[in-house]
Amino acid sequence: MNRKRPGTGPLTVTVFVFPGVRLLDVTGPIEVFASANEFGGHYRVRIASADGAEVITSAGTRLSADLRVDDVREPYDVLVVPGGPGWETLIKDDALLGAVRQLNEKARCTASVCTGAFLLAAAGLLDGRRAATHWRQSRQLALRFPSVQVEPDAIFVRDGPMMTSAGVTAGIDLSLALVEDHYGAEVARAVAKDMVVFMQRPGGQSQFSVRSRVPHTRQEMLRRVLDAVTENPEANHTLSAMARRAGVSVRHMTRLFDEEVGTTPARYVEQVRLEAAQVMLETDDDPMSVVARRTGFGSPESLRRAFVRHLGVTPGAFRASFRTTGVGTKGSVSEAVSP
């Protein structure tokens, strides 16, 4: 995309809404663009529905539309296609998919939020392209639309003029990347600070924490052990220490982790500590020695080895990446040249 500088006229963003749309998929991006206007951006946001009538969201909230799809006749800058929990029904709605195609024809860039990727895919707009959606639905997207190359761990993906994002709040990440692309990193950073969100969030779709990814366990004492690691990653969490804490043998603790968590105790502890270090590096400017100590790695060298082994980057490079949304670079944004 070409960088749009302030003072050259507004950029028009059209958000398509429909019955059952998820409210935050709509309001998240709108808030980003509205906030950008306070820091040097110049966006004109409008909401379009198929017939121009209001719609009722999946939350039961009514949303008014500014115009109907047929009223969009001139080329414009960005189309946002939100998702909804009823995506399985929506992708069978020929009229809805026709409206998406019609709006896409006039848009310079089309972006989906969460399960909105299913609408783009069903409309044939993602054929041969890479795409992202909510991590819970990424497998379904790949199975239903084999011509789409799904990137299950991406927060958002850009492939030519098409952008797709992961679950719900990832629409904010995507919108921040658009703001950076249009008006520069400083404006995007100001918006992120104003909204109290990350400029670029950690670890792919590690938008859900290590602890939350662990299947629910019926073993209360194991839950206490897992929670203790999450709450205080710098404490002593050796296998023997965890076994003592739970009142079981080392062998039994190892077996519980294998059966209930699906990994080893040491690997789980390292994943939690790595996540804690990522958060510190994104939000603080503490020296690496402090980050290493507070997250349980002990030394900067141990921290560095863990980052390189799991993420392929050093802690310093990881921290530097959060000074930008990553638009136009490898990482959370994937780019491809359209055929």
Answer yes or no: are the C-beta atoms of 79 and 104 closer than 8 Å: yes
Q: Which residue has the tokens 């789980």?
A: 268
Answer yes or no: are the C-beta atoms of 163 and 104 closer than 8 Å: no
Give a three-class secondary structure readout of 54-84: CEECCCCCEECCCEEHHHCCCCEEEEEECCC
Dihedral of the CA atoms 200, 206, 212, 217 (nearest 10)? -170
> Phi then psi for 46, rounded to 5 degrees?
-135, 150
* Structure-token pair, residue 22: 């998820």
Answer yes or no: are the C-beta atoms of 236 and 219 closer than 8 Å: no
Answer yes or no: are the C-beta atoms of 133 and 164 closer than 8 Å: yes
Helix (H) or strand (E) holding 28, with range, is helix 23-36
Answer yes or no: are the C-beta atoms of 191 and 231 closer than 8 Å: no
Is-catalytic flag, 109? Answer: no
- Please tell me which residue in 30, 78, 114, 281 is annotated as part of the active site: 114
User: How many CA atoms are closer than 13 Å to the CA of 43, on its beta-carbon side?
Assistant: 28
Positions annotated as catalytic residues are 114
